[in-house]
A and B are shown apart, each in its own frame.
Chain A
Amino acid sequence: MKQGLRTFFLRHETILLLILVAEWCYFNSVGRHFGSLDNSFDIVRHSVEIGLLAVVMTPIILTGGIDLSVGSLLGLCAIVFGKLWRDAGWSVGSAAMGTVVLGALAGGLNATLITWLRLPPLIVTLGTYSLFRGVAEAVTQGVDTFTNFPASFLFIGQERWLGIPAQAPFFLLVAGVVWLLVHRTTWGRSWRAIGFSPEGARYAGIPVGRRLATVYVMAGIVAALAAIIYTARLGQAKADAGSGYELFAITAVVLGGTSIFGGTGSVHGTLLGVAAIAVLNNGLVHARQPREVGGMLTGLLLILTMAASVLPKMLAKARPTGHATGRNTQSQTNA
């Protein structure tokens, strides 16, 4: 029992949850309106798009890969969505469908280059990172923006539905599906196996190429969804939408305890990571701190959390009775 309690406190997710609670308590005491329901909803609204990207980035990083192109793809999808609706005269619904198809195709491009040509994901998505953004800028020639969307569409990004921000259900749905895939199906099991040892997975008869392709196509589809929600929230679509989001998403995933080398990690860890960053940045506004502080503290948060997660294990290992360490690694693997 005592052992179990110690394991619980050593878990990365627990540390992150404690940090989140500490953040909340601190900002609640400093900022006057921080703890209000309105502000909580504000935090949710502002973190849904990055949250979507982070959630879908988790299986990619679990396989030992990375996708740097999701932010650029968000921009491209936002532009194409606007173009289909305004210039091609599609209904909002059809334009949204078209955008999701584009997202899937773009993810498919990444997947093809990675699995078929066997290029490293870092290089492939660094390429499509520039490519997608470049196409978005070419389409708008850098100046065109799309506005005046119907109120029924803006509802998704700005209003409440059943008392909660209207984009929240989309996020919960995606997070739920990805959580189930990662933690409760053979898909997630295969992704982890590939992350630990791609060759080992292949020798076990796992169709490595197909399993890998899935995570990148999924990322494309979710990036398109994020683009639509982004457009609805801001009421406009422009070519620089979502720039830098890929790094926020990766930060959240890593902060959430997923190993950048693949294999270990969890979707709920990622959710906590997104929350910790979102609460920090929102709280700083309420504490009347300049925006730059947010970036600084996000960086510090990442480094300190990782240190807090690693140090006890190192200390435990230094002692001859390293039992807790083994168990802890275990629980993370199974998480």
Chain B
Amino acid sequence: MPPLLQLTAVTKSFGAVRALRGISFDLQAGEVHALLGENGAGKSTLIKVVTGAHQPDSGHLEIAGQRLTALNPTSAREAGIACIYQQPALFPDLTVAENIALRLGKTTPLCRVRWSEHRKRADELLRRIGADIDPGAEVRALSMPEQQLVEIACALGASARIVIMDEPTASLTQSEQQLLFGVVRNLRAAGVGVIYISHRLEEIFALADRVTVLRDGESVGTRPIGELNEAELIRLMIGREMAHIYPDRGGTPGEIVLAVKGLNCAAGGVRDVTLDLRAGEVLGLAGLVGAGRTELARVLFGITPADSGEIRLNGKPLRIGSPAEAVAQGIAYVPEDRRRHGVILEMPIADNMTMAVHARIFPGTWLRSGVERRLALDYIRDLGIKAYGPEAPGGSLSGGNQQKVALARWLATRPRVLILDEPTQGVDVGAKSEIHKLIRQLAQQGLAVLMISSDLPEVLGMSDRIAVMRGGTITAMLPGGANAHEVMAAALGQEEGNQGAA
């Protein structure tokens, strides 16, 4: 019998980024096949190729032996492929039955809505997966796992043969997870093929039949789960060489500049964070996407102020209620989303660079274009920003140069604490190494740097110490010399006792 789904040598590039480099992958009927990999390894792109959201550049797909060059979302659905995302994509104001009916989208004569039929069908589907949900309830009133069950019911209703689950348990409690696992096992027993993506290794060992590990857009291997243990899995995920040269660390950290104790922010998903940051050090903040790293930065910068806990700057306790207050205290934050938060694309780079220092360089609120221009020219020269002049709009620059403009804005504030959020994301290799050198220089000048990064080699290569976050709190504090296994193990929540094997 041919496999349900077979991908052969699929490649996909976005501009210069090669997201998939010839991946082959197969899914059998009645199996749970786990897909593993670091952030950016190519999992999402692979899923999007299977659901028809992306068309591959080369390679081909086979569904139940039928060869295709590409799918689109409609043909993927018709082929029996369904995807259940981490954030259910249901209409919150419609009822469960209406959502299911919409998804299954059968047309009736005169587009008449047959309410009773919708309800009956929804009821039947929900019963099949053992979910106790009222089809007449508004989706808004359902919990996240209940919504996921509705999604699964939709998939069943569409008689899906291939179900993709993208981190389905990320927001579930323990008992909800068990319910979901039961549903997954039922699907498998019914002959459905499940592609299961998760960062939680214990789930993969509990559910999966086989596992495929992706790294840098390539498949590192597909193994039956019985042949692997956790340490081996982690090694497969990160076993890459460090090609990039990082600047020397050097220098001894000074006084504690920022001391955070028991910091909580319910809205931001940060709980009980305790952290010290010293002058002259780069503290790397590692963790998986959604671990609460950006959220912590947002609390420290006053965007979502803390509910409780203590923040001390140079020993002085303070309350940070807004970014303006954070700036006044000498805390600078170069945000992750450069285009939305880091730089105002329509404004000249000179305006962007002076935006956080209005009070200092424009006394009495009067603009002084000479001073502004000089400051901009200085940073353009010092940071090697490629732009036709201080009047160039931020949006006309490349990603790396925009990032340098964002950095210049915050260096101009002469901060004591610099928080960098994914400082080299979407930046080309040359600019990346320049930014790394700059970060190190700043630390050597006595700045306390907190560097959030999902790029593991970057965290390992740049950090004097590494804090690892998981579930909104810091779960491990590792020395600068830590290796990738230790960081990954902490980020994935592996028990400390298992580390010896790694």
Contacts and interface: CB of A to CB of B under 8 A. Distances in A.
Given A204-B355, A204-B409, A205-B327, A263 B365 contact: no
Contacts of B352: 204
Give the one of B324, B328, B366 with max A CB within 10 A: B324
A323 to B, nearest CB: 11
B320 to A, nearest CB: 11
Given A193-B355, A196-B344, A333-B347, A203 B367 contact: no
B345 to A, nearest CB: 8
A283 to B, nearest CB: 37
Interface string B308-347: 0000000000000011101110000101000011111111
Interface stretch (A123-131, A151-159, A167-175, A181-189): A181-189
A205 B323 CA distance: 5
B85 interface: no
Contacts of A233: none
Contacts of A135: none
A38 interface: no
B281 interface: no
A199 B341 contact: yes
A207 to B, nearest CB: 5
A266 B324 CA distance: 27
Contacts of A333: 346-348, 393
Contact of B348 (A202, A205, A207, A334): A334
Nearest to A259: B346
B344 A205 contact: no
Interface string A184-212: 11111110110011011111111100000
B323 A202 contact: yes
B220 to A, nearest CB: 38
Given A197-B344, A203-B335, A184 B366 contact: yes
B482 interface: no
Interface in B334-385: 335, 340-348, 351-352, 355-356, 358-359, 362, 365-367
B376 to A, nearest CB: 13
B78 interface: no
A207 B340 CA distance: 17
A135 B227 CA distance: 80
A40 interface: no
A329 interface: yes
Nearest to B343: A200
Interface residues of A, number: 27
A45 to B, nearest CB: 34
Contacts, number: 82
A145 interface: no
A295 interface: no
A333 B393 CA distance: 9
Classify the interface of chain A: helix, strand, loop or mixed.
helix
A329 B348 CA distance: 11
Contacts of B327: 205
Given A189-B351, A200-B340, A333-B347, A205 B324 contact: yes
Nearest to A204: B355
A189 B367 contact: yes
Interface in A252-273: 263-264
Given A185-B367, A189-B358, A333-B347, A200 B341 contact: yes
Given A203-B335, A205-B327, A185 B365 contact: yes
Contacts of A200: 340-344
Contacts of B356: 204-205
Nearest to A203: B341
B475 interface: no
A6 B187 CA distance: 68
Contacts of B347: 192-193, 196, 333
Contacts of A190: 358
A202 B301 CA distance: 11
A334 B369 CA distance: 11
B400 to A, nearest CB: 19
Contacts of A184: 366-367
Given A184-B366, A185-B367, A202-B303, A193 B344 contact: yes
A189 B323 CA distance: 18
B371 to A, nearest CB: 12
A334 B367 CA distance: 12
Contacts of B362: 185-186
A263 B326 contact: no
Contacts of B159: none
A207 B324 contact: yes
A42 B236 CA distance: 84
A202 B333 CA distance: 12
A93 interface: no
A321 to B, nearest CB: 15
Given A189-B351, A197-B340, A326-B396, A203 B365 contact: no
Contacts of B359: 186
Interface string A5-32: 0000000000000000000000000000
A44 B335 CA distance: 50
Contacts of A207: 322, 324
Contacts of A203: 303, 323, 333, 335, 341-342
A94 interface: no
B305 to A, nearest CB: 13
A201 B347 CA distance: 11
A52 B173 CA distance: 60
A39 interface: no
B336 to A, nearest CB: 10
Interface in B162-197: none
Interface in A198-237: 199-207
A147 interface: no
Interface in A263-319: 263-264
B428 interface: no
Given A185-B366, A202-B303, A203-B342, A330 B324 contact: no
Interface of A: 184-190, 192-193, 196-197, 199-207, 263-264, 326, 329-330, 333-334
16 contacts: A184-B366, A185-B365, A186-B366, A186-B367, A197-B344, A197-B345, A197-B346, A200-B340, A200-B343, A202-B323, A203-B335, A204-B323, A205-B323, A205-B328, A206-B324, A334-B348
* A-B pairs, 4 with minimum CB distance: A205-B327, A204-B355, A203-B341, A186-B358
Interface of B: 303, 322-324, 326-328, 333, 335, 340-348, 351-352, 355-356, 358-359, 362, 365-367, 391, 393, 396, 409, 413
Given A189-B367, A204-B344, 14 more contacts: A185-B367, A190-B358, A193-B347, A193-B351, A196-B345, A205-B355, A205-B356, A205-B413, A207-B322, A207-B324, A263-B346, A264-B346, A326-B396, A330-B348
